[in-house]
Amino acid sequence: MPKTELVQKFHVLYLGTTSVSRPIGMDVINGAIDSLMSTTGKEDWTPVILSIADTTVAVIKEKEEDEEALVECRVRFLSFMGIGRNVHTFAFIMDTGNQHFQCHAFWCDPNAGCVSEAVQAACVLRYQKCLVARPPSQRACSSTSPSADSVTRRVTTSVKRGVQSLIDTLKPKKQPSELP
């Protein structure tokens, strides 16, 4: 029986993509978002459907006649994600191989919280599938290669930081009158 994959779709504006020097970091994400926002105007942003499944994140151009995929990224190659300084901005970094990294940025209304949660859920699900798919002989920590462990730690840490950033961004700020 074929498995059905849960796909979440969001109508957002695609700010674009830019090369970045590192695969992780909120400073990298914020720098990429700032760069893209300063070089393009809101009228240049592309209305897209951000389609998020457990294996792929697709950026699909909205058209009246048909949908055109601008970008299709495998979740396994997502190295970092986060909500920018502005709660409407969201970006993720993809490892394109040979130490090249691309940051894709979006403008989300009313905020980027739901998009960020959907991408995080896809990452977690993908990670869980990888753990389950490993042969029993490779599940013991002592037999895994150092590079696999470091990648696992990096992805797990990146997702945790991105989620914590999201939670901190969405928490209501206390008013001075509420402080003790």
pLDDT in tens, 17-45: 999 999 999 999 999 999 999 998 899 99
Residue 1 confidence (pLDDT): 41
pTM over 0.75: no
Q: What is the pLDDT of residues 159-171, one digit of tens each?
A: 667 666 656 666 6
Q: What are phi and psi of 68, to 5 degrees?
A: -115, 125
Residue 96 confidence (pLDDT): 93
- Provide the Cα torsion 31, 84, 127, 23; round to 10°: 0
Q: What is the pLDDT of residues 51-66, one digit of tens each?
A: 999 899 999 998 756 6
173 burial type by CB count under 10 A (0-12 exposed, 13-18 middle, 19+ buried): exposed
Q: What are phi and psi of 24, to 5 degrees?
A: -140, 160
